[in-house]
Amino acid sequence: LLWERDSEPYARERDARIEALARQCNIQTQSFVGHTFLDLDRTVAANGFKPPISMSGIQALVKAAGPIPAALPLPQRLPPLRLAGFEVPDISELYGEEQPSNVAMLGGEQEALRRLAATCSDVGYVCAFEKPKTASTGKKGEPWEPSTTALSPYLKFGC
């Protein structure tokens, strides 16, 4: 059983429970670093580690870790996954009729790409962007829109 390791406390707790259950069932597990450049467990365990409190501290941690490995090449093809009794259910089996929503942050790759394109095409915003001066709680004049890029949930969770 393989999965991408997550550093968030809820995910660490969840993963520990899954590993314990898998061990009881004689199932091998392996987790791997995926959505962070550094192996956070190894970084924190390093001799003399001090949590960074500034961007220069973060840059020093990354520099000390050495070069970031290049991404692996895309697979040419993936073999079909055939596990009788473990098929991925159709979405209609999971949910009834879709309920109307007033959610401001829509999910999906297309929405993420739309947000990225809108942000990058706003020259004034890009030139004036200062990360410490942004907020995820609302843009001036548009309180439903964060003053950040709002791409974090798409990158973190693949929304």
Q: For each of the chain's 159 residues, which pLDDT tens digit applies?
A: 999 888 888 999 999 999 999 999 999 999 988 778 888 888 889 888 888 888 898 898 889 888 888 888 998 998 887 778 877 777 777 776 666 666 667 888 888 899 899 989 999 888 888 877 776 666 667 666 777 788 888 887 766
Cβ proximity of 35 and 155 under 8 Å = yes
> Residue 37's pLDDT is what?
80
Residue 137 to residues 111, 117, 124, 134, Cα–Cα distance (Å): 19, 21, 20, 9
Cβ proximity of 155 and 113 under 8 Å = no
> Residue 107's pLDDT is what?
82
> Residue 58's pLDDT is what?
87
**Per residue, what are the HEC states of the chain?**
CEEECCCCHHHHHHHHHHHHHHHHCCCCCEEECCCCCCCHHHHHHCCCCCCCCCHHHHHHHHHHCCCCCCCCCCCCCCCCCCCCCCCCCCHHHHCCCCCCCCCCCCCCHHHHHHHHHHHHHCHHHHHHCCHHHCCCCCECCECCCCCCCCCHHHHHHCC
> Residue 98's pLDDT is what?
63
* Tally of CB atoms within 10 A around 150: 20
Cβ proximity of 60 and 52 under 8 Å = yes
> Residue 16's pLDDT is what?
95
> Residue 17's pLDDT is what?
95
Residues in contact with 19: Cβ distance below 8 Å, sequence separation at least 6, in sequence order: 29
- For the whole model, what pTM was predicted? 0.47
